[in-house]
Chains A and B, each alone.
Chain A
Amino acid sequence: MTTLGSDFKANAAKALADAELQRALLNVKRGFVQKRVDAKARLPEFDTLRDEARAIKLHTLSHLDLYLDYFERKVADSGGQVHFAPTAADAREIILKLCRDADAKLVTKGKSMVSEEIGLNACLEEAGIEAVETDLGEYIAQMRNEAPSHLIAPIIHLNKETIAEDFRRSHEGLAADRTLGSAADLVAEARAVLRQKFLAADVGITGANLLIAETGSSVVVTNEGNADLTQTLPKMHIVIASIEKLVPTLEDACTILRLLARSATGQEITTYTTFATGPRREGDADGPSAYHVVLLDNGRSEMLGGSFNDMLSCIRCGACLNHCPVYATIGGHAYGSLYVGPMGAVLTPALVGIDHARDLPNASSLCGRCEDVCPVRIPLPSMLRAWRERDFARDNPKFREKTALKLWAYAAKRPRLYHALSGAAVKLLALLAGRSGKLSWLPFAGAWTRNRDLPAPEGETFHQLYAKRTQE
Chain B
Amino acid sequence: MSGSQANRKKVLESIRTTLGANAPDKWREANVRHRLVTHPSGTIPARSLGNREAGLALFSGMLASQGAEVTRVRDPEGVVKAIAAYLAKHELPSELRLSEEPVLVTLPWLLAPKLTQTYGEPSASDAIGLSRAIAGVAETGTLFLVSGAGNPTSLNFLPETHIVMVDEGDVVGCYEEAWGRLRALYGEGTLPRTVNWISGPSRTADIEQTIISGAHGPKRLFVVILDERSP
Q: Is the CB of B11 within 8 A of A86?
A: yes
Does B110 touch A at the CB level, under 8 Å?
no
- Annotate A215-230 by CB proximity to B: 1 below 8 A, 0 otherwise: 1010000011110110
What are 18 A-B contacts defined by CB distance under 8 Å?
A30-B209, A65-B16, A70-B36, A159-B208, A188-B214, A195-B124, A214-B39, A215-B190, A225-B157, A229-B154, A251-B40, A252-B42, A268-B62, A269-B140, A271-B199, A272-B198, A278-B193, A285-B152
Does B191 touch A at the CB level, under 8 Å?
yes
Nearest residue in B to A296 (C-beta to C-beta)? B11
Q: Is the CB of B66 within 8 A of A251?
A: no
Q: What residues of chain A lie closer than 8 Å to B228, measured between beta carbons? A: none
B111 → chain A closest CB, angstroms: 27
Q: Is the CB of A52 within 8 A of B42?
A: yes
Q: What residues of chain A lie closer than 8 Å to B36, measured between beta carbons? A: 70, 213-214, 248-249
Q: What residues of chain A lie closer than 8 Å to B156, measured between beta carbons? A: 228
Tell whether A286 pairs with B121 under 8 Å between CB atoms, given A66-B32, A249-B35, A271-B66.
Answer: yes
Q: Is the CB of A305 within 8 A of B7?
A: no
Does A135 touch B at the CB level, under 8 Å?
yes
> Given A45, A194, A274, which contacts B216 in the complex, CB threshold below 8 Å?
A194
Q: What residues of chain B lie closer than 8 Å to A285, measured between beta carbons? A: 99-100, 120-121, 147-153
Does B90 touch A at the CB level, under 8 Å?
no
Q: Is the CB of A52 within 8 A of B43?
A: yes
**Taking beta carbons and an 8 Å cutoff, which residues of A are in contact with B?**
24, 27, 30-31, 43-45, 48-49, 52-53, 56, 59, 62-70, 74, 78, 83-86, 90, 94, 134-137, 140, 153-156, 158-160, 163, 183-184, 186-188, 191, 194-195, 198-199, 213-215, 217, 223-226, 228-229, 232-233, 243, 248-252, 254-255, 257-258, 265, 267-281, 283-287, 295, 297, 301-306
Tell whether A223 pairs with B32 under 8 Å between CB atoms, given A140-B206, A215-B189.
Answer: no
Most buried by B among A44, A191, A306: A191
Chain B residues numbered 23-48 whose CB sits less than 8 Å from any CB in chain A? 28-29, 31-32, 35-36, 39-43, 45-47
Q: Is the CB of B190 within 8 A of A254?
A: no
Does B86 touch A at the CB level, under 8 Å?
no
Most buried by B among A53, A183, A199, A306: A183
> Roughly how many angstroms separate A298 CA and B142 CA in the complex, as a whole number?
36
**Taking beta carbons and an 8 Å cutoff, which residues of B are in contact with A?**
4, 7-8, 10-12, 14-16, 18-21, 28-29, 31-32, 35-36, 39-43, 45-47, 62, 66, 99-100, 120-121, 124, 140-142, 147-154, 156-158, 174-176, 179, 189-210, 212, 214-218
> Roughly how many angstroms separate A224 CA and B205 CA in the complex, as a whole number?
9
> Roughly how many angstroms separate A229 CA and B214 CA in the complex, as a whole number?
13
> Given A49, A258, A267, A302, which contacts B14 in the complex, CB threshold below 8 Å?
A302
Most buried by B among A48, A254, A280: A254
Q: What residues of chain A lie closer than 8 Å to B212, measured between beta carbons? A: 183-184, 187
A94 → chain B closest CB, angstroms: 8
> Roughly how many angstroms separate A252 CA and B36 CA in the complex, as a whole number?
10
Q: Is the CB of A276 within 8 A of B194?
A: yes
7 more CB-based (< 8 A) A-B contacts, given A136-B207, A254-B176, A273-B197: A45-B43, A136-B204, A184-B212, A228-B196, A249-B36, A286-B153, A287-B147
